[in-house]
Structure 1
Amino acid sequence: MKTSYRLLAAITVSTALLFACEKNQDLTPAVGNAQKSAIQTHTDLSSDESLKNISPDKVLAVGCEIYSLVLAGNSGTPHIGGLDSYLVNVDMVTGNTTAASQIMIGAVAVKSVTGITKAPTSATTPPTIFGVTGINSNFPGRLLKINPATGAAVNVGPTMIGNNQIYLQDIEYCLANNRYYAIVEGTNRIVSSLNGLSWVNVPTVIPTSVQLNGLTFRTVGNITRVWVIAGAGNTFCGANFGNMWELALNGTLISTNNYNAANVLWTNKELGLDFNANTGCVPRNFVVGSAMGILSNNLTLCPALPTLIGAGQIKPTYDYAKK
C-alpha cells in the first residue's frame, strides 16, 4: 500500500562519548571531566494508516532524507515491550516524512526495536539496514537485517559478550575503524563489534549513574569522535537538559557538553542522536529525536538553544540511519 505523510517535529538530544576500540574489558566509569563551554505524548501508531508497509518506490530515502526508527509510543530505558517498530523516511530540513514500513520477521511484527544503522558495504537499492533489539522485545537481544523498502527482516543472531547475551540500543557503524558501536540498554556502557554479533566493552569515563540514550559519530577533517547523550542532565551548562560526552576512538575524554533544551520534554529518557555537517540540505550539527515526538537540531551546544524541525509533526523517534 502506498502512502505518504507529514512527520511531526521531534527534539534532538545530543550525547557525546568516544570509544576505545577492541578492548575486551569492563568499563571503569569515573566522573571525569574537563568541562567544556560549548554548545550544547504518547502517540499510538498501531492503527495509523500512514505507517503501513508500502511499495519500494516510496520508501527509499533521497535528497535530505535519512531513515529513522519510530516506535508506537514513548518509553524509558529499557524500552517497554509491545511497541510496533517502523522505518520512516524523514526530511531533516522540514521534519516531513515520505513513507514508512513496519519491521516484520515473516508474518510477525517485531516489537520494540532499539537501534538501526546502515550496512557499511551496502551498494544495493534499497540499502541494507541493521537493527538491534532490547530486553523487552519479542525477539530480545538480536541483530536484525532489514530491507527498508518492505520492512522484511532476518533474525541474524544473538548479540553477545563472550557467552553472555546483551541487549543493545542505538547501534551505529563507524567508517573510521570499520566497527559497530552501541549502547548496552539502560546503562552507561558502550560496546563495539566487528560483525554486530560478538561485542566487547569499551572503557569510558561515563558515570555508572548515567543512562545513555543516543550515540553518533562526528568527523572533522580526518578525525572521528564518538558522541553520546544522556536524555536528562544539568551538570555541565546550568539548568539545561541532555548531558553529552565526546571521546576519541581510543577512549580519551575530549569534552563534556550539554544539549541545551529549554524544555525537559525536548530531552527525555529515549531519543535518537545524529550528526550532520553542512550538506547541500541545511547547515546543522547535532539532530536529536525524541520519544515525546519532538525533533530539533543545534549548530552549537550550550548556551545556544536548538531549532525545532517540523514542530508538532514528528512521531516518536528512537534512532537514525544514513540513507
Structure 2
Amino acid sequence: MKTSFYRTGALVLSLTTLGLLSCEKNESLVPNSTTNQTTTFDVTKSHTTSPFVNESLQNVGSDKILAAACENYSLVLSGVTATPHAGGLDSYLANVDMVTGATTAASAITVGGLIVKSVTGITKIPAAAPTLYAVTGMNSSIPRRLLRVNPATGVSVNVGATVSAGAVIALQDIEYCTTNARYYAIMEGTNRIMISPDALNWTLLAVAPTNFRLNGLTFQKNAAGVETLWVIAGQANTLCGGKFGDMFNYTLGGAFIANNSYNAATAGPVTPELGLDFYQNTACVIRNFVVGSASGFLSHNMTLCSGGGIPAPIGGSGIKATYDFAKR
C-alpha cells in the first residue's frame, strides 16, 4: 500500500532492464478452513452509490481466478481516494493482466456476508489452497484489522487487530518477504515503515526521509540474491529534476541505502496513483516497478530516474481503480 497525484501523459517505454527479481510472499498464519466457503453475495446489492459496481465485478468461481500466468491479484476499491483511504468504498479482489492491464474477474471482499469497506492492502500467501491476507485502514468498516481472504470467493476471516507497542494501528500495502520471513507495511497516512513476524504485532522499521505520505512498498532481489526494500511517496517531487514519485531503498533490516524516483511525468490535472510492485523480467512480462492508479490506469518504469526512463502505461481503458497488488 498513499497520497500521490499524477496523470500519465505521453510516456516512453525504456527497454533497459535491471535484471532483478521480485520478492515472493509466504505464510506464517495457519489458514482457516472457513475461508473455503462459497459465497453467493451479489455486489449489485451492496448499496454503494459508486457507478464502479457493474456486471464485471460479480463474485466468480475459482475457475475464473488465476486464469493465466501473467495475471496477478489486485486490490480494487469502488472509488478514487488518497491516503488515509476514505471510508465507505467497497473492496474487491480482482485479477489484473500485467500484459494488457485488463481486469478479468473479481470477488467482493466480505466478512459475515457484508462487503468490507476500504481495505488498504493485500499480500499473497502460498499454501495448499490459495490464500491472501488483507489489512484495513482507519476508515474501514472493520478498521485496523488483519483479514484472511479466500481469493476465489472473497469470503474473509477477521484474524485480529494490528497493533504496535500496545496501540491499535492502521496499515496499508502489506507485503511478505520470504528472505527473512517478515511482513512489511506502511502505517496508513504516514512516512513510517513497519515490520512484523506475524502480521499482527508490528514495530517501526524506518521513517522515510520525506514529508509526504508513503504510497506503497515492494521488494527487489538482484542477480547475487541480495534483497532490498523499496517504498514510494508518489506525490513527492524532490528528486530527479522535480518529477513525481520519490522512492527510497532500504535493507531488509531498515538501513537506508539510497533514494531515487519513479520519474512520472505530469501534465494537466493530477490523479492518485497507489500501490507498488516489482516483477521478474525473464518470465511472464518485461516489467520492473509497477504502480497502480486510483484513476484507472497502470504504469511501469524499467530504469527509474537514474537510467533516464519514465513510466510507460500498461494496457488501455477498462482498468479498475487499483490500490495494491499480490502476486499469484
Query: Per-residue displacement from partner, 1:108-129 (whole Å, max 9, x unpaired)?
Result: 110000000012x4132xx100
Q: How does 1:19-98 map to 2 (within 5 A)?
A: 44=50, 46-98=52-104
Q: Find runs of 4+ consecutive structure 1 residues off by over 4 angstroms.
A: 264-270
- Tell me the TM-score normalized by structure 2: 0.81
Q: 1:166 aligns with which of 161, 165, 169?
A: 169
Return the offset for 1:295. 0.3
Question: Aligned AA for 2:53?
Answer: S
Q: 1:262 aligns with which of 248, 265, 269?
A: 265
SS at match of 1:122: coil
Contact persistence 1:115–1:132 (CA under 8 A): yes
Q: How does 1:83-122 map to 2 (within 5 A)?
A: 83-119=89-125, 121-122=126-127
Return the offset for 1:270. 4.8
* Unaligned segments of structure 1, at least 5 residues: 1-9, 12-42
Q: How does 1:303-318 map to 2 (within 5 A)?
A: 303-318=308-323
**Alpha-carbon distance in structure 2 between the residues aligned to 1:308 and 1:219:** 24
Q: Which has the higher contact order (CA 8 A, sep 6+)?
A: 1
Return the offset for 1:250. 2.3
Query: Per-residue displacement from partner, 1:74-97 (whole Å, max 9, x unpaired)?
Result: 111100000000111011011112
**Alpha-carbon distance in structure 2 between the residues aligned to 1:104 and 1:256:** 38
**Alpha-carbon distance in structure 1 between the residues aligned to 2:55 and 2:165:** 42
Contact persistence 2:103–2:320 (CA under 8 A): no
Contact persistence 1:45–1:51 (CA under 8 A): no
**Alpha-carbon distance in structure 1 between the residues aligned to 2:198 and 2:124:** 13
1:294–1:68 CA distance, 2 compared to 1 (3 A): same
SS at match of 1:56: coil
**Alpha-carbon distance in structure 1 between the residues aligned to 2:324 and 2:268:** 17
Q: CA RMSD in A?
A: 1.9
Q: How does 1:227-306 map to 2 (within 5 A)?
A: 227-263=230-266, 268-302=271-305, 303-306=308-311
**Alpha-carbon distance in structure 2 between the residues aligned to 1:278 and 1:45:** 36
Contact persistence 2:135–2:174 (CA under 8 A): yes
**Alpha-carbon distance in structure 1 between the residues aligned to 2:241 and 2:271:** 17
1:216 and 2:218 correspond: yes
Return the offset for 1:239. 2.6
Contact persistence 2:147–2:158 (CA under 8 A): yes
Question: Aligned AA for 2:279?
Answer: N
Which residue does the alignment assign to 1:152?
A: 155
Question: Aligned AA for 1:91?
Answer: D
SS at match of 2:63: helix
Return the offset for 1:262. 1.4
Contact persistence 1:77–1:269 (CA under 8 A): no
Contact persistence 1:266–1:292 (CA under 8 A): no
Question: Aligned AA for 2:82?
Answer: G
Q: 2:193 aligns with which of 184, 190, 193?
A: 190
Percent identity, aligned pairs only, is 56
Contact persistence 2:297–2:319 (CA under 8 A): yes
Which residue does the alignment assign to 1:129?
A: 132
Query: Per-residue displacement from partner, 1:267-309 (whole Å, max 9, x unpaired)?
Result: 8555010001213222111011011211011111113121101
**Alpha-carbon distance in structure 1 between the residues aligned to 2:232 and 2:303:** 15
Return the offset for 1:203. 2.7
Contact persistence 1:74–1:270 (CA under 8 A): no
Query: Per-residue displacement from partner, 1:118-169 (whole Å, max 9, x unpaired)?
Result: 12x4132xx1000000000000000000001000000000000132000000
- Tell me the TM-score normalized by structure 1: 0.82
